[in-house]
A and B are shown apart, each in its own frame.
Chain A
C-alpha cells in the first residue's frame, strides 16, 4: 500500500497492490491496477464508510461445488471478510453495504488445469459472494482482455475506470503473478489455534 496526495483532486490517494485492502470514514481516493484480479468497492452511504480490496483466488472454482465449500472460495471469503470487518469497525453497518465489482480480465496465462480461466472464477466468486451475503451490486465492469485502472472516491462511491494496454499492462501482469505465487503457498493453510 502506498499513500500519495493528488494535487488534481486535492485528496489523499491510497494505492493498493494485489492482496491488499483499505477502508476509511474520510474522503479519499483508493486506486488500484487490475489484470486478472478483482476489486470489490463497498460503501455505506449513510455512515459514510467505504473501502476497496484487490484479490484473486488461489485456484479455479469447481463447477460441481458451491464456492463457499471449496478452498479457493474460502480464500476469497477471507479477503472479503477482512474488508467488511474493517468497515464495520469504522462504523459501517453490513445491511447498508452496496458494492461495485471490477476486474477479471484475461491477462494472466496459466497453463495449469487448476488455474486456467482463473479470471472468470474471480468474477464468479465476487458476484456469488455478494449475492449470498445480500450485498447489492450497483455497477460492475468485468472480463475482457484489457487490464484496468480503478480510482474509487470514498466520499460519494464514484469510480473512474480506465482500460490499459501495452507496456503498462505488463507490470500489472508481473505484480499479479508474484501475488499468485505467494497465495499458492499460503493456500497450504497452517492451523492458527490458541487454547486458553
Chain B
C-alpha cells in the first residue's frame, strides 16, 4: 500500500542515526518526526491521530530500550495507523528475525549500514510523491 503523506516517523535509540536519517530524508523533501523508542513513538502517533494528521511511513529499529521494534509494530497495528507502511531498519539480518517482523506487520526490512540514496529509494517506494 502506498501513502500520500510525506511525513515520516523515525524510531531509533541512536541519536546519531536519527540525525543522519533525518538529514537525508529532509534533503529529499520529506518531513521527519523522530522518537528514541517505541513508547515515545506511540505517543507521537496518538497525538497525530487525535489531530487527524497523517503519517506517510514509519521507519523503526528493532533493538531499543523501553519497547523493542517488534512490540512497537504490533502496537501500531492496534491504532488508526495500522495501514501505514512500516520499514524495519536494523543491524539484524537473520531470517528468523525478519519473519518475526513480517508476522508483526512490517512492510519491509532494510539492513544497516546503507547509503542515504538507498534509504530514499526505499522510502519513495512506499510514499507516492
Contact = CB atoms under 8 A, between A and B. Distances in A.
Secondary structure type dominating chain A contacts: helix
Interface residues of A, number: 30
Nearest to B36: A94
B108 A134 contact: no
Interface of B: 13-17, 19-20, 23, 63-65, 91-93, 98, 101-102, 106-115, 118, 121-122
A78 to B, nearest CB: 4
9 contacts: A69-B23, A77-B20, A78-B113, A82-B91, A84-B14, A85-B92, A88-B64, A191-B115, A196-B108
B65 A189 contact: no
Contact of B63 (A69, A71, A85): A85
A133 B16 contact: yes
Interface in A21-62: none
A68 B19 contact: yes
B112 A88 contact: no
Given A69-B23, A82-B91, 8 more contacts: A74-B113, A77-B16, A78-B113, A129-B16, A133-B16, A189-B114, A193-B108, A194-B109
A88 B63 contact: yes
Interface of A: 66-69, 71, 73-75, 77-78, 81-82, 84-85, 88-89, 93-95, 129, 132-134, 189, 191-196
Question: Which residue of A66, A132, A194 has the most chain B CB atoms within 10 A of its CB atom?
Answer: A194
Nearest to B113: A78
B112 A78 contact: yes
Contact of A81 (B102, B112, B121): B112
B20 A81 contact: no
Contact of A78 (B23, B91, B121): B91
